[in-house]
Amino acid sequence: MEACKNAPQPAPQLGVVGRAGSTESFQLSRWAPSAKAGEFVEHFWSVHWDLADGDTHDSTVITFPVVHLTHEWGTDGSRHGYPMPATLVHGVVDTVFRTTLQRSGSVVGARFHPGGFAARFGRDVSAYTGRVVPVDDELFGPAFTVDAERERAGRCLDDAIADHHREPDATYRSLRRLLDGIRDDHAVRRVEQLMERSPWSTRTTQRVFQRYVGVTPKWVLCRYRLQRAALDIETRSAIDLADLAVRHGWYDQAHFSHDFRTMLGCAPGEYANTYRA
């Protein structure tokens, strides 16, 4: 973890809006899970900020179809409606994740693989979609605590997730293969293409996505396309938005602009003027 703390941060970054211009506002680190936790967790991460009194930083993330488990503390009083410190479950954010950082604070989190939280804990993830809730006593037990120091907090979360007797089930393994494939293959843009790759019927695929991922296959495909389009806008010095829209699977620029504005609250051109590196 220490090496990851000191590594230079890539910028811009897929899903993190305006990362290139925010490197002085907060420190973001990522590191790999242990082998056993890694059956369910993609990576651990931490973020720390220490802002002058009265200063704020608005952070926006075009979220992935994943659940996060976080331990959070700081001098900013409350976050997500809960007093600090708190250990929280963040369901899939079906719009974009926005938060305003102020004063000083830290978060250590586990980003689960899509479906990983459901497979590890046996819970229906759709119950968490669009919500942030405190960890309940049944998740790890009433004696579960997290150390208030970033590196030790990360180890606490890793140990707790790794301490299980639940093997990844066959549905989760098949879902992981399906989602990894559509994430990496940019040619998969329509639900019909996803269903052609699915090992299940259309109805069963929908049910699996609802329980394990918390959102629909259509939502997942649109989110991956939107993330890639936003990253293209940030990284290219000049870009034809009409070409970009078609290249990422929208019917035309008007449909792309509508989806982009609905999700991020601004037009693609405005986004380019604000965040282009």
Query: Does the pLDDT at position 3 exceed 90?
Result: no
Predicted confidence (pLDDT) at residue 166 exceeds the cutoff of 60: yes
Mean pLDDT of the chain: 87
Query: In the block, which residue shows the tokens 């009409």?
Result: 242
Give the model's pLDDT for residue 17.
Answer: 63
**Any idea which of 5-9, 46-50, 118-122, 157-161 has the lowest mean pLDDT?**
5-9
Residue 11: pLDDT band with limits 50, 70, 90: low
Domain residue ranges of the chain, discontinuous segments joined by +? 2-162, 170-275
Cα–Cα distance list, 159 to 61, 153, 172 (Å):
27, 10, 21
Which CATH number is 170-275's, of 3.40.1410.10, 1.20.59.10, 1.10.10.60, 1.20.140.150? 1.10.10.60
What was the pLDDT predicted at 84?
A: 92
* pLDDT above 50 (res 9): no
Q: For position 101, what pLDDT does the model report? A: 82
Higher pLDDT, 171 or 239: 171
The CATH fold assigned to 2-162 is Jelly Rolls (2.60.120)
Give the span between the Cα atoms of 103 and 228, in whole angstroms.
32
Give pTM, 2 decimals. 0.87
Residue 10 has pLDDT above 70, yes or no: no
Mean pLDDT of 84-95: 92
Question: How many CB atoms sit inside 10 A of residue 106's CB?
Answer: 21
Average pLDDT over residues 78-99: 90
Instruction: Return the bridge partners of 90, or none.
Output: 68, 132
